[in-house]
Amino acid sequence: MAALVLFAFAIAPAVGGRGGGTAARAARGPARAVTALAFGRHLHGITAGEALGAPRAARAASAHRGRGGGIAGDDALGAPPAARAAFAFGRRACVVGAGAALGALGALRAPAFAGTAVAPTAQSADRLAKAALAAAEGRLDEAARLTAQVIELQPRYAGGFSARASLAVQRGDYAGALADYDAALELGAVEGEEGVIRLNRGVVLIAVGRPADALVDLDRSLALDRGNRLAALNRALALLDLDREDDAFAALRPLVATAGPTAVEPFWLIYALLLAERAPVSEATGVLRRLEAKFRSADDVHAALALTLAQEGRDAAAREQWRLVRDPAPFRSAERLARKPKRWPRAAARALQERLAQLEP
Protein backbone atom coordinates (compact mmCIF):
# COMPACT_ATOMS: atom_id res chain seq x y z
CA MET A 1 0.00 0.00 0.00
CA ALA A 2 1.27 3.43 -0.84
CA ALA A 3 1.90 5.91 1.91
CA LEU A 4 1.94 9.64 2.27
CA VAL A 5 4.14 11.57 4.65
CA LEU A 6 2.15 14.04 6.69
CA PHE A 7 4.96 16.51 7.31
CA ALA A 8 8.09 17.12 5.34
CA PHE A 9 10.51 19.78 4.24
CA ALA A 10 12.11 22.03 2.93
CA ILE A 11 13.41 25.10 1.23
CA ALA A 12 17.07 25.60 0.46
CA PRO A 13 19.04 28.77 -0.22
CA ALA A 14 19.23 30.09 -3.73
CA VAL A 15 21.96 31.16 -6.13
CA GLY A 16 22.53 31.01 -9.84
CA GLY A 17 20.63 30.78 -13.05
CA ARG A 18 18.29 28.45 -14.93
CA GLY A 19 15.00 26.81 -14.03
CA GLY A 20 13.84 23.27 -13.68
CA GLY A 21 12.54 20.70 -11.23
CA THR A 22 12.64 16.96 -10.64
CA ALA A 23 12.20 14.41 -7.86
CA ALA A 24 13.79 11.18 -6.76
CA ARG A 25 12.00 7.90 -6.21
CA ALA A 26 10.94 7.17 -2.68
CA ALA A 27 13.39 5.36 -0.43
CA ARG A 28 12.34 2.62 1.96
CA GLY A 29 12.53 2.95 5.71
CA PRO A 30 12.48 5.90 8.08
CA ALA A 31 16.27 6.32 8.00
CA ARG A 32 16.41 7.14 4.31
CA ALA A 33 15.61 10.48 2.83
CA VAL A 34 13.86 11.32 -0.38
CA THR A 35 15.32 14.41 -1.97
CA ALA A 36 13.70 16.57 -4.59
CA LEU A 37 15.97 18.88 -6.53
CA ALA A 38 14.82 22.13 -7.99
CA PHE A 39 16.47 25.21 -9.34
CA GLY A 40 15.28 28.26 -11.18
CA ARG A 41 14.16 31.84 -10.97
CA HIS A 42 10.67 31.03 -9.78
CA LEU A 43 9.15 29.03 -6.97
CA HIS A 44 8.39 25.35 -7.38
CA GLY A 45 6.08 23.18 -5.32
CA ILE A 46 7.58 19.71 -4.93
CA THR A 47 6.55 16.54 -3.17
CA ALA A 48 7.83 12.99 -3.39
CA GLY A 49 5.92 9.72 -3.01
CA GLU A 50 7.03 7.15 -0.47
CA ALA A 51 5.65 3.63 -0.13
CA LEU A 52 5.32 1.41 2.92
CA GLY A 53 5.81 -1.57 0.66
CA ALA A 54 7.00 -1.20 -2.89
CA PRO A 55 8.02 2.42 -3.56
CA ARG A 56 5.95 4.38 -6.03
CA ALA A 57 7.64 6.86 -8.30
CA ALA A 58 6.61 10.46 -7.96
CA ARG A 59 4.87 12.28 -10.78
CA ALA A 60 7.06 15.03 -12.13
CA ALA A 61 6.36 18.26 -13.91
CA SER A 62 9.51 20.03 -15.00
CA ALA A 63 10.09 23.72 -15.51
CA HIS A 64 12.69 25.32 -17.71
CA ARG A 65 14.03 28.81 -18.22
CA GLY A 66 12.00 30.65 -15.67
CA ARG A 67 8.72 28.70 -15.63
CA GLY A 68 7.44 27.11 -12.43
CA GLY A 69 7.12 23.40 -11.90
CA GLY A 70 6.03 20.90 -9.30
CA ILE A 71 6.24 17.29 -8.27
CA ALA A 72 3.54 15.49 -6.35
CA GLY A 73 3.46 11.98 -4.92
CA ASP A 74 0.35 9.91 -5.57
CA ASP A 75 0.34 8.23 -2.21
CA ALA A 76 -1.65 7.45 0.93
CA LEU A 77 -1.27 8.24 4.61
CA GLY A 78 1.08 6.90 7.23
CA ALA A 79 4.57 6.68 5.71
CA PRO A 80 7.81 6.75 7.64
CA PRO A 81 8.78 10.36 8.33
CA ALA A 82 11.81 10.41 6.03
CA ALA A 83 12.98 13.95 5.51
CA ARG A 84 12.78 15.70 2.19
CA ALA A 85 15.53 18.04 1.12
CA ALA A 86 15.83 20.46 -1.72
CA PHE A 87 18.55 22.34 -3.46
CA ALA A 88 17.38 25.66 -4.79
CA PHE A 89 19.46 27.36 -7.40
CA GLY A 90 18.00 30.63 -8.59
CA ARG A 91 16.96 34.01 -7.37
CA ARG A 92 14.10 32.56 -5.34
CA ALA A 93 13.60 29.52 -3.18
CA CYS A 94 12.11 26.19 -4.11
CA VAL A 95 9.64 24.38 -1.87
CA VAL A 96 9.43 20.73 -0.96
CA GLY A 97 6.16 19.65 0.61
CA ALA A 98 4.29 16.48 1.47
CA GLY A 99 1.40 14.68 -0.18
CA ALA A 100 -0.32 17.27 -2.30
CA ALA A 101 1.94 20.02 -3.59
CA LEU A 102 1.82 22.89 -1.13
CA GLY A 103 2.54 25.32 -3.91
CA ALA A 104 4.80 28.33 -3.86
CA LEU A 105 5.27 28.76 -0.14
CA GLY A 106 7.81 30.86 1.64
CA ALA A 107 8.86 33.17 -1.18
CA LEU A 108 12.21 34.79 -0.64
CA ARG A 109 13.40 38.19 -1.76
CA ALA A 110 16.21 38.31 -4.29
CA PRO A 111 19.37 37.88 -2.19
CA ALA A 112 20.93 41.02 -0.75
CA PHE A 113 24.30 40.31 0.79
CA ALA A 114 24.53 41.62 4.33
CA GLY A 115 26.69 41.41 7.42
CA THR A 116 29.43 38.78 7.22
CA ALA A 117 27.67 36.77 4.53
CA VAL A 118 29.81 35.88 1.51
CA ALA A 119 28.28 36.12 -1.94
CA PRO A 120 28.77 33.21 -4.36
CA THR A 121 31.17 33.75 -7.21
CA ALA A 122 30.05 32.93 -10.74
CA GLN A 123 32.23 29.80 -10.56
CA SER A 124 30.53 28.63 -7.35
CA ALA A 125 27.07 29.33 -8.72
CA ASP A 126 27.88 27.34 -11.86
CA ARG A 127 29.10 24.34 -9.85
CA LEU A 128 26.05 24.40 -7.60
CA ALA A 129 23.74 24.47 -10.62
CA LYS A 130 25.61 21.48 -12.08
CA ALA A 131 25.45 19.71 -8.70
CA ALA A 132 21.68 20.18 -8.62
CA LEU A 133 21.31 18.69 -12.08
CA ALA A 134 23.60 15.75 -11.22
CA ALA A 135 21.68 14.99 -8.02
CA ALA A 136 18.36 15.28 -9.85
CA GLU A 137 19.56 12.60 -12.27
CA GLY A 138 20.79 10.33 -9.48
CA ARG A 139 24.48 11.07 -9.94
CA LEU A 140 25.06 11.68 -6.25
CA ASP A 141 28.82 11.15 -6.26
CA GLU A 142 29.20 13.78 -8.94
CA ALA A 143 26.91 16.14 -7.05
CA ALA A 144 28.98 15.62 -3.90
CA ARG A 145 32.21 16.30 -5.80
CA LEU A 146 30.87 19.54 -7.27
CA THR A 147 29.54 20.71 -3.90
CA ALA A 148 32.91 19.95 -2.29
CA GLN A 149 34.56 22.08 -4.95
CA VAL A 150 32.32 25.00 -4.02
CA ILE A 151 33.33 24.69 -0.38
CA GLU A 152 37.01 24.47 -1.39
CA LEU A 153 36.68 27.53 -3.63
CA GLN A 154 34.74 29.54 -1.05
CA PRO A 155 35.14 28.06 2.44
CA ARG A 156 33.25 31.01 3.95
CA TYR A 157 30.26 30.81 1.60
CA ALA A 158 27.28 29.47 3.60
CA GLY A 159 25.43 28.27 0.51
CA GLY A 160 28.02 25.58 -0.17
CA PHE A 161 27.47 24.05 3.26
CA SER A 162 23.70 24.31 2.96
CA ALA A 163 23.78 22.53 -0.41
CA ARG A 164 26.02 19.80 1.01
CA ALA A 165 23.59 19.41 3.90
CA SER A 166 20.79 18.72 1.41
CA LEU A 167 22.88 15.97 -0.15
CA ALA A 168 23.58 14.53 3.30
CA VAL A 169 19.83 14.33 3.98
CA GLN A 170 19.36 12.46 0.73
CA ARG A 171 21.97 9.93 1.82
CA GLY A 172 20.36 9.53 5.24
CA ASP A 173 23.31 11.21 6.97
CA TYR A 174 21.35 13.42 9.35
CA ALA A 175 24.37 14.07 11.60
CA GLY A 176 26.32 15.35 8.62
CA ALA A 177 23.39 17.47 7.50
CA LEU A 178 23.06 19.07 10.93
CA ALA A 179 26.78 19.83 11.04
CA ASP A 180 26.61 21.57 7.67
CA TYR A 181 23.45 23.53 8.52
CA ASP A 182 25.21 24.63 11.72
CA ALA A 183 28.22 25.75 9.69
CA ALA A 184 26.03 27.65 7.21
CA LEU A 185 24.34 29.60 9.99
CA GLU A 186 27.62 30.31 11.76
CA LEU A 187 29.15 31.67 8.55
CA GLY A 188 26.24 34.04 8.07
CA ALA A 189 23.56 33.28 5.52
CA VAL A 190 22.64 35.67 2.76
CA GLU A 191 19.82 37.96 3.85
CA GLY A 192 16.51 36.17 3.45
CA GLU A 193 18.03 32.69 3.68
CA GLU A 194 18.41 32.24 7.44
CA GLY A 195 14.76 31.27 7.77
CA VAL A 196 15.13 28.72 5.00
CA ILE A 197 18.17 27.06 6.59
CA ARG A 198 16.50 27.04 10.01
CA LEU A 199 13.44 25.39 8.50
CA ASN A 200 15.60 22.66 7.00
CA ARG A 201 17.58 22.16 10.19
CA GLY A 202 14.36 22.08 12.20
CA VAL A 203 12.96 19.27 10.08
CA VAL A 204 16.14 17.22 10.44
CA LEU A 205 16.00 17.77 14.20
CA ILE A 206 12.45 16.40 14.21
CA ALA A 207 13.62 13.39 12.21
CA VAL A 208 16.34 12.58 14.76
CA GLY A 209 14.01 12.94 17.74
CA ARG A 210 14.91 16.41 18.97
CA PRO A 211 11.56 18.26 18.70
CA ALA A 212 12.37 20.83 21.40
CA ASP A 213 15.47 21.97 19.49
CA ALA A 214 13.49 21.87 16.24
CA LEU A 215 10.87 24.18 17.75
CA VAL A 216 13.52 26.86 18.37
CA ASP A 217 14.57 26.79 14.71
CA LEU A 218 11.02 26.69 13.37
CA ASP A 219 9.91 29.57 15.59
CA ARG A 220 12.82 31.61 14.27
CA SER A 221 11.99 30.63 10.68
CA LEU A 222 8.39 31.79 11.16
CA ALA A 223 9.54 35.02 12.80
CA LEU A 224 11.49 35.75 9.62
CA ASP A 225 8.64 34.71 7.30
CA ARG A 226 5.19 34.61 8.88
CA GLY A 227 3.60 33.34 5.67
CA ASN A 228 5.66 30.15 5.40
CA ARG A 229 3.07 27.38 5.68
CA LEU A 230 5.72 24.69 5.53
CA ALA A 231 7.49 26.05 8.60
CA ALA A 232 4.13 26.33 10.38
CA LEU A 233 3.27 22.75 9.47
CA ASN A 234 6.53 21.36 10.76
CA ARG A 235 6.20 23.46 13.90
CA ALA A 236 2.89 21.70 14.57
CA LEU A 237 4.64 18.35 14.16
CA ALA A 238 7.30 19.34 16.70
CA LEU A 239 4.58 20.34 19.14
CA LEU A 240 2.82 17.01 18.59
CA ASP A 241 6.08 15.13 19.26
CA LEU A 242 6.35 17.08 22.51
CA ASP A 243 2.82 15.89 23.47
CA ARG A 244 1.60 19.50 23.35
CA GLU A 245 -1.62 18.54 21.60
CA ASP A 246 -3.55 21.73 22.37
CA ASP A 247 -0.72 23.82 20.91
CA ALA A 248 -0.42 21.52 17.89
CA PHE A 249 -4.14 21.88 17.23
CA ALA A 250 -3.90 25.67 17.52
CA ALA A 251 -1.02 25.63 15.02
CA LEU A 252 -2.87 23.43 12.51
CA ARG A 253 -6.26 25.16 12.65
CA PRO A 254 -5.31 28.30 10.68
CA LEU A 255 -3.58 26.15 8.04
CA VAL A 256 -6.84 24.29 7.46
CA ALA A 257 -8.95 27.45 7.64
CA THR A 258 -6.88 29.19 4.96
CA ALA A 259 -6.75 26.24 2.58
CA GLY A 260 -8.60 26.61 -0.70
CA PRO A 261 -12.19 25.36 -1.05
CA THR A 262 -11.06 22.24 -2.93
CA ALA A 263 -7.84 21.66 -1.00
CA VAL A 264 -7.31 18.41 0.87
CA GLU A 265 -3.93 17.98 2.55
CA PRO A 266 -2.56 14.91 4.35
CA PHE A 267 -2.02 16.65 7.68
CA TRP A 268 -5.79 17.02 7.92
CA LEU A 269 -5.81 13.49 9.39
CA ILE A 270 -3.99 14.70 12.51
CA TYR A 271 -6.12 17.85 12.57
CA ALA A 272 -9.34 15.81 12.41
CA LEU A 273 -8.25 13.52 15.25
CA LEU A 274 -7.38 16.54 17.40
CA LEU A 275 -10.64 18.24 16.38
CA ALA A 276 -12.69 15.23 17.55
CA GLU A 277 -11.49 15.90 21.12
CA ARG A 278 -12.34 19.61 20.96
CA ALA A 279 -15.53 20.01 18.91
CA PRO A 280 -18.60 18.00 17.91
CA VAL A 281 -17.29 14.70 16.55
CA SER A 282 -19.37 15.16 13.40
CA GLU A 283 -17.05 18.02 12.39
CA ALA A 284 -14.06 15.68 12.52
CA THR A 285 -15.99 13.07 10.53
CA GLY A 286 -16.66 15.68 7.85
CA VAL A 287 -12.94 16.46 7.52
CA LEU A 288 -12.14 12.75 7.34
CA ARG A 289 -14.77 12.20 4.62
CA ARG A 290 -12.93 14.73 2.45
CA LEU A 291 -9.69 12.85 3.06
CA GLU A 292 -11.38 9.55 2.22
CA ALA A 293 -12.49 10.93 -1.15
CA LYS A 294 -8.88 11.65 -2.06
CA PHE A 295 -7.03 8.81 -0.30
CA ARG A 296 -9.37 5.88 -0.75
CA SER A 297 -6.87 3.15 0.14
CA ALA A 298 -5.40 4.84 3.21
CA ASP A 299 -5.69 2.67 6.31
CA ASP A 300 -5.23 5.64 8.62
CA VAL A 301 -8.23 7.44 7.15
CA HIS A 302 -10.49 4.39 7.43
CA ALA A 303 -9.35 3.71 10.99
CA ALA A 304 -9.91 7.33 11.97
CA LEU A 305 -13.37 7.30 10.40
CA ALA A 306 -14.17 4.06 12.23
CA LEU A 307 -13.30 5.85 15.46
CA THR A 308 -15.28 9.04 14.89
CA LEU A 309 -18.33 7.21 13.52
CA ALA A 310 -18.31 4.92 16.57
CA GLN A 311 -18.08 8.00 18.80
CA GLU A 312 -21.14 9.37 17.00
CA GLY A 313 -23.01 6.13 17.72
CA ARG A 314 -23.10 5.08 14.05
CA ASP A 315 -21.92 1.56 14.75
CA ALA A 316 -22.71 -0.08 11.38
CA ALA A 317 -20.89 2.66 9.43
CA ALA A 318 -17.98 2.46 11.86
CA ARG A 319 -17.62 -1.31 11.37
CA GLU A 320 -17.77 -0.86 7.60
CA GLN A 321 -14.86 1.60 7.76
CA TRP A 322 -12.89 -0.78 10.00
CA ARG A 323 -13.36 -3.59 7.47
CA LEU A 324 -11.62 -1.37 4.89
CA VAL A 325 -8.45 -1.25 6.97
CA ARG A 326 -6.09 -3.63 5.16
CA ASP A 327 -3.52 -3.98 7.94
CA PRO A 328 -5.17 -3.51 11.35
CA ALA A 329 -2.13 -4.61 13.39
CA PRO A 330 -0.59 -1.13 13.88
CA PHE A 331 -3.93 0.18 15.15
CA ARG A 332 -4.21 -2.36 17.99
CA SER A 333 -1.56 -0.66 20.13
CA ALA A 334 -2.05 2.88 21.40
CA GLU A 335 1.68 3.26 22.04
CA ARG A 336 2.63 2.09 18.55
CA LEU A 337 -0.02 4.26 16.97
CA ALA A 338 1.23 7.38 18.75
CA ARG A 339 4.84 6.84 17.67
CA LYS A 340 6.47 7.47 14.32
CA PRO A 341 5.62 6.86 11.58
CA LYS A 342 1.89 7.21 12.28
CA ARG A 343 2.01 9.91 14.97
CA TRP A 344 -1.65 9.76 16.00
CA PRO A 345 -2.46 12.09 18.89
CA ARG A 346 -2.24 10.02 22.08
CA ALA A 347 -5.83 10.71 23.11
CA ALA A 348 -7.10 9.46 19.74
CA ALA A 349 -4.84 6.40 19.89
CA ARG A 350 -6.25 5.48 23.31
CA ALA A 351 -9.83 6.17 22.19
CA LEU A 352 -9.46 3.74 19.29
CA GLN A 353 -8.31 0.97 21.63
CA GLU A 354 -11.44 1.48 23.73
CA ARG A 355 -13.62 1.01 20.60
CA LEU A 356 -11.89 -2.03 19.08
CA ALA A 357 -14.27 -4.52 20.70
CA GLN A 358 -17.27 -2.97 18.95
CA LEU A 359 -15.42 -2.49 15.65
CA GLU A 360 -14.07 -6.01 15.20
CA PRO A 361 -16.30 -9.05 14.60
Confidence of residue 5 (pLDDT cuts 50, 70, 90): very low
Question: Are residues 268 and 185 located together in one domain of the fold?
Answer: no
Specify which of 20-29, 43-52, 98-107, 272-281 reaches the highest per-range mean pLDDT.
272-281
pLDDT for 12 beyond 50 = no
Question: Are residues 28 and 146 located together in one domain of the fold?
Answer: yes
At 352, which CATH number?
Answer: 1.25.40
pLDDT tens digits along 82-137: 333 333 332 223 333 322 222 222 222 223 333 467 888 999 999 999 999 999 99
Q: What is the pLDDT of residue 101?
A: 25
Sequence-ordered list of residues with C-beta below 8 angstroms from that of 99, at least 6 positions apart, any chain: 4, 5, 6, 47, 72, 73, 75, 265, 266, 267
Contact 91, 41 (CB under 8 A): yes
Question: Are residues 236 and 132 located together in one domain of the fold?
Answer: yes
Question: Are residues 294 and 167 located together in one domain of the fold?
Answer: no
Domain C-terminal end among 226, 241, 256? 241
In this predicted model, which residue has the larger pLDDT, 81 or 291?
A: 291
Q: What is the pLDDT of residue 8?
A: 43
Question: Are residues 189 and 264 located together in one domain of the fold?
Answer: no
pLDDT tens digits along 226-285: 999 999 999 999 999 999 999 999 999 999 999 988 899 999 999 999 999 999 999 999
Question: Are residues 87 and 124 located together in one domain of the fold?
Answer: yes
Question: Are residues 214 and 295 located together in one domain of the fold?
Answer: no
CA distance 158 to 181: 9
Burial 304-328 (b: 16+ CB within 10 A, else e): bbbbbbbbbebeebbbebbebbeeb
Q: Write out the residue range of the structural domain in which residue 214 sits.
A: 2-241
Q: What is the pLDDT of residue 245?
A: 96
pLDDT tens digits along 168-193: 999 999 999 999 999 999 988 766 78
At 170, which CATH number?
Answer: 1.25.40.10
Total of domains in the chain = 2
pLDDT tens digits along 306-356: 999 999 999 999 999 999 999 999 999 999 999 888 999 999 999 999 999
Domain C-terminal end among 184, 210, 241? 241
Domain C-terminal end among 190, 225, 241? 241
In this predicted model, which residue has the larger pLDDT, 315 or 44?
A: 315
pLDDT for 213 beyond 90 = yes
Question: Are residues 313 and 298 located together in one domain of the fold?
Answer: yes
Question: Are residues 58 and 91 located together in one domain of the fold?
Answer: yes
pLDDT tens digits along 194-209: 899 999 999 999 999 9
Q: What is the pLDDT of residue 116?
A: 60
The percent of residues in the chain predicted with pLDDT above 90, rounded, is: 60
Q: What is the pLDDT of residue 260?
A: 85
Q: What is the pLDDT of residue 140?
A: 92
When computed from its CA atoms, the radius of gyration of the chain, rounded to whole angstroms, is 20
Question: Are residues 199 and 258 located together in one domain of the fold?
Answer: no
Question: Are residues 12 and 135 located together in one domain of the fold?
Answer: yes
pLDDT for 53 beyond 60 = no
Distances 14 to 40, 43, 141 between C-alpha atoms, Å: 9, 11, 21
Question: Are residues 152 and 26 located together in one domain of the fold?
Answer: yes
